[in-house]
Chain A
Amino acid sequence: MATVDKQQYALPKSELYHACDTSTLGFKTTDELGDMVESIGQPRALEALKFGIGIQHEGYNLYVAGSTGLGKHTMVKRLLDTKVIDSPVPADWCYVNNFEHYHKPIAMELPAGYANMLSHDMDQLIDDLLAAIPSVFEGDEYRTRVQEINDELAEKEEGVFAQISEVAATKNIVLMRTPTGYTIGPKKKDKILSPEEFDKLPEREQAKIRAETSEIEDEIKKAIRQIPVWAKESRGKIKELNREISQITVDQFIADLQNKYHEYPQVLAFLDAVNEDIVNNVEEFRKHGSAELPVEENPSLAGLITQYQVNVLVDNSNVKGAPVIYEGNPSYNNLMGRIEHQAQLGTLLTNFTLIKPGALHRANGGYLVMDARKILLSPFAWEGLKRALLAHEIRMESLEQMISIASTISLEPEPIPIDVKVVLTGDRMLYYLLKEYDPEFNQLFKVAADFAEDFDRSPESTQLYAKWIASLQREHQLKPIDASGVGRIIEACARKAEDSEKLSLHMGNLLDLLRESDYWASENGHALVGCEDVQQAINTRIQRLDQIRERMHEQILRDIYLLETTGSKVAQINALSVIQMGDYAFGRPSRVTATARLGAGKVIDIEREVKLGGALHSKGVLIISSYLAGRYAKDQPLSLSASLVFEQSYGQIEGDSASAAELCALLSALADIPLAQSLAITGSVNQHGQIQAIGGVNEKVEGFFDICKARGLTGDQGVIIPAANATHLMLRSDVAEAVEQQRFAIYAIDTIDDAMEILTGIEAGELDTQGEYPAATVNGRVQKRLQELTKIRAQYSASAQAESRDSEDG
């Protein structure tokens, strides 16, 4: 058999790690670098943000897409802060009482700073009136005029009875008081006639007396009936007097405010309503004006004062330019505002002063920045936001009433028109989901600012990156970093980007590394952060997180989890997977085995059969099946039944990065050629046998390396990776050194044939013109085996048919 030199596939050390040449950085420490003015690596997002912020048409709200830590908020903030400086300060908003319909408070728009001013003015007005109104009603003028009215009534009452008495006296009739009224009777010489004296009078005289007393009685009745009418007139006059006095008083105080706010018709209308209400309810002011209890202990007085107050919803007096509001908890109430209630004697009461603003109110005329996921997770918040944006107004509705939890009477505040640009930040997946399933989202969020995860690594971008590091270092008051430290950081960021030719733009991760490096520099007593401090930060971070990795590797090293790293075996191979634990990932080698026997052409993925295999993994196995058929059984049925399994794997498996390993194991089983156990392989294979790139290549290589290193490197161990992943390599220095010392190797392959050659040391073999592979090659042996299986199957099939015919005939 022709053997193969696998060194042709080996990668040199220089391709395993793209180091940063610190000698070309051009500075010794970050103190020599200026601050970063513009953003780094986000030209697309930057232009989108500038466009989205600048365009003023309806529906051009923004969705800033990208994973957490890319600096989305920082860039949005910087751009908005620059933009709003020259923007006009929006109006203040407040709610005032609607004296005609108490449950519909009136919204009032005022220039910035005026709402608070009006609120203070109204408080002062009421204070003044509470003092002035009682005093004016206790004053001489009022009391004199009331006394005049009362005296007039008294005179009328006195007068009518005096008149009746006079008339009675002329007729010798006396008017006397009883405990409950009046009585009349005849008198003679100032003495009441006794019954005997009366009886002695002539009949005519008696009749005359009766008639005259009857007349007087009628007059008295008339007078008594008139008294309530006069009393009512008096009361009317007093009421009119009260109105006149209170109107004059209220007018005096309100006139100042009417002058002050003469340019604002809404305020003037409000003041007119206040004026009328106070005059109509002046008794309350009289009553409470002399109250001794303070407002806090006098609910009735508090209630009186409340209805004239101004509820300042939005006060822009201290705002310079348009507002930029960051709402960290975008619940429905926090967004739309809420109507609070107070418990009083077992009932829930509310009024317009209990209306509280939401983020939309505060951002009115400016910008509102929120996290997309948070708003979507808050019940009714997303719908509320869309409703407000579509209607261009904030209509406050009690959430409790909307979902029928509470049936108490609540307020219907007048809607407030809004003009706000909303900036949502969130991940890309969320953006596309909303775009796909929420038609209103497309209508309202027309601008997407898509943040890149990384950018190209070049000498120029490296310089820029160093400047960025310097800016962050200064901004967060960290120690200056020397060139070696900056170089190590840049290399770490390339590793984070999983590409030696890229640099990660995750500001969050970078900042963490800077902070932790700064810490270790302090611990080590360094004035500057150097390479070793950065490395220590990297190492200790891994150490904090890799307990699980340690345990797993321990299981391998203790042969609890079976994995061979020497020798060779048929139909068994070391595959590689990545385990993601939060923001830490590590590689774990696994044993994959295959069986092949006579069958009907099915390749069984045991993981899929027991529902431990995900769709992508199953896809990979089906591709293997297609590859086999396409390569070796074009003109004949595929007469095998094969099964593939990840040994000792009891959890979910997803992805097709092990499909190359699985195919190799299967080919080994068919060809009966052992595979080197000193090697591990990762890669995705397509139907034509081409090896495709996978993710986590660095972690996978290091995962297998660690096992081999722990057992003792033999010199023939290594990892086979897709050639397309070579550019992603940023391996640890110990791995690179082992490769340089030829104690370990990394092989880059393009096809499954390359993999089989490395794993078996035997030529893969090329198809000849007859459609056959050379017998002494891997492919030849696979082909031969499949042909054998086909023959055997045909024989079985023929004999089965014969038996069937015999039984029919028989």
Chain B
Amino acid sequence: MLLRKRNHVTQKMADMDTSIKRIIINVDSGSISVSSMESAVVLASRLQANLCGLFIEDTELLQLANLPFTREITLHTAHSRELSSRSIERNLLARAAEVRESLQALAEMSNVGFSFRTVRGPRLESVFKEAEEYQLILMMPTKRLTNLRHHAALADRRHPVVIFYDGSVQSKRAIAVIKSMNNDPSIKHVLALTTSQSAEEEVLQELPEQHFNVRCISIEDFSIEDIIKLARIQTPGLMILPIENSLLKQGPQLRRLLDALSCMLILVR
């Protein structure tokens, strides 16, 4: 009975198009680094997908810079200096160029199809707008910390990969992302938030024991609060969530989640 059910599941999965062809990474966050860009390139290379770097020139920031008394406090020296929209524009341009150069070099070294876009607008809303054609959106946490865990290959027992699995296409794409890590020699620890028994079975079937150590937690609903609490307790090395959940499309909710995380967030379309 279980075997027929499993075969049915496998067939059903095989009928869905879970391929990932386009990946976009948001690179304007203060926590972006060469490591995180490397992770994105590696992921794109293994999935044989194209990678696009997206730099958002936050209009709120530009607007703030227009105010007459606005000053910038530099991160390392605590030096305060006048801020103008022109200076912040230049700053953003320079930063965009720097990030683009790094990401391009990494992509070329791995023969990954690469493109780069600079867009001006509200940050999170612009990301979603620009990423409509992309199956994966890679986002960096808000924190600019030294212990940021954003290298996918570092997922281990203490910092598992957290996924939400409900059998949907997005879930399966999440599985595909995890499976792309199969080339790494170490066992990957996965914490799967599943919504049903069958979802749990699918996860276990898709992620074999010899490469993955899978732990399943059953949840009823997708809740940002629960996810944030989980992130604080489980300290994930990578989090993969479906984007179709309307909660994540809401800027504030996503911002709260990004504020709480210390790892890369992959939104799966």
Binding site for B on A (CB under 8 A): 140, 143-144, 147, 150-151, 153-154, 157-158, 174, 176-186, 191-195, 198, 209-210, 213, 217, 220-221, 224-225, 231
Contact = CB atoms under 8 A, between A and B. Distances in A.
B64 interface: yes
Nearest to A210: B69
A176 B66 contact: no
Nearest to B29: A177
A217 B71 contact: yes
A151 B75 CA distance: 20
A183 B147 contact: no
Contacts of A198: 67-68
Nearest to A225: B78
Given A151-B147, A178-B61, A192-B63, A220 B73 contact: yes
Q: Please name the 7 residue pairs, one residue from A and one from B, whose CB atoms are nearest each other, closest first.
A: A185-B64, A224-B78, A179-B95, A181-B74, A150-B147, A221-B78, A181-B75
A153 B146 contact: yes
A198 B67 CA distance: 8
A186 B143 contact: no
B58 to A, nearest CB: 8
A487 B13 CA distance: 115
A222 B196 CA distance: 50
A157 B95 contact: no
Given A224-B78, A225-B78, A177 B30 contact: yes
Nearest to B68: A195
Given A176-B64, A195-B66, A221-B78, A183 B143 contact: no
28 contacts: A147-B158, A154-B146, A154-B262, A174-B60, A176-B64, A177-B29, A177-B61, A178-B61, A178-B72, A178-B83, A178-B91, A179-B94, A180-B72, A180-B74, A180-B75, A180-B91, A181-B74, A181-B75, A184-B64, A185-B64, A191-B60, A195-B67, A195-B68, A217-B80, A220-B73, A220-B78, A221-B78, A224-B76
B78 A192 contact: no
A140 B157 CA distance: 10
A213 B58 CA distance: 20
Contacts of A180: 72, 74-75, 91
Nearest to B66: A195
Contacts of A185: 64, 67, 70
A15 B60 CA distance: 137
Interface-central residue, A143, A191, A195, A225, by most chain B CB under 10 Å: A195
Contacts of B61: 176-178, 183
B70 A183 contact: yes
B227 to A, nearest CB: 18
A527 B66 CA distance: 124
B57 to A, nearest CB: 10
B84 to A, nearest CB: 11
A180 B67 CA distance: 18
B203 to A, nearest CB: 26
A224 B73 CA distance: 9
Contacts of A184: 64, 70
Contacts of A158: 143, 145
B73 A192 contact: no
Interface in B45-91: 58, 60-61, 63-78, 80, 83, 88, 91
Interface string B84-121: 00001001101100000000000000000000000000
B72 A192 contact: no
A177 B83 CA distance: 13
Interface string B140-163: 001111110000000000100000
A715 to B, nearest CB: 113
A361 B73 CA distance: 71
A217 B69 CA distance: 11
A147 B142 CA distance: 19
Given A154-B143, A176-B61, A183 B83 contact: yes
Contacts of A183: 61, 64-65, 70-73, 83
Contacts of A224: 73-78
Contacts of B71: 183, 213, 217
Contacts of B72: 178, 180-183
A745 B71 CA distance: 136
B63 A194 contact: yes
Nearest to A176: B61
Nearest to B148: A154
Contact of B67 (A143, A186, A220, A221): A186
A163 B95 CA distance: 28
B155 to A, nearest CB: 14
